[in-house]
Structure 1
């Protein structure tokens, strides 16, 4: 994976991980990122229960295979430790995959599970 510093992992965010409040809660810091695009994907909505047992709609990337489809987002660089928090936050509703973004950066993306 390409990174901006050693031992950092590129993660492509198209949703709530871009929120500074979410970042502070998960990582105790605000992340700096760079805009990027993921071709061959669309955004859908997924309803998940929050801690108060209310359903909330969240975005989820779905591969289409159509290069004209794309999702805009931001690439962040995380440590292995921070990536574990991200895996927990994204939950089993998302599948973690490694994909090449339009910029050429290989990044982790949380997408619709392919079963």
Structure 2
């Protein structure tokens, strides 16, 4: 039985090796890509477990932007559906997962402002 794989775009802490090991149990390989039509700001994280895992009290959060040329740089990661569920658990309620088309044309999931 093969495990379905999906693409996940990360512009923040899911790129960190320690976060990947804690969330997925392995280091992920990724490639550079970008999310057009969005810009980032900082979000204060109050979930103690997420702060402990990431080592950061503030994480980037992407929001839609009306400014021409705005895009968010990051990395696209190939993960399993089970790992996607683990990412859902890691992300705090301020984020929601959506499907997007990245600058490369690849369709991927990404966590943006809820």
Deviations 1:38-70 (A, max 9, x none): 111001111111327x89111001111434101
**CA shift for structure 1 position 6:** 6.7
SS in 1 for 2:83: helix
Asked if 1:17 corresponds to 2:22, the answer is no
TM-score by length of 1: 0.86
Unaligned runs of 5+ in 2: none
TM superposition outliers: structure 1 runs of 4+ over 6 Å: none
Once residues 45 and 28 of structure 1 are traced to their aligned partners in structure 2, the CA distance between those partners, rounded to angstroms, is 27
1:64 equivalent in structure 2: 65
Asked if 1:29 corresponds to 2:30, the answer is no
TM-score by length of 2: 0.87
Matches within 5 A, 1:1-115: 7-51=4-48, 56-113=57-114
SS in 2 for 1:68: coil
Contact 2:47–2:92 (CA under 8 A) maintained in structure 1: no
Contact 2:37–2:68 (CA under 8 A) maintained in structure 1: yes
**CA shift for structure 1 position 100:** 0.2
Unaligned runs of 5+ in 1: none
Alignment RMSD: 1.9
Query: 1 or 2, which has the higher helix percentage?
Result: 2
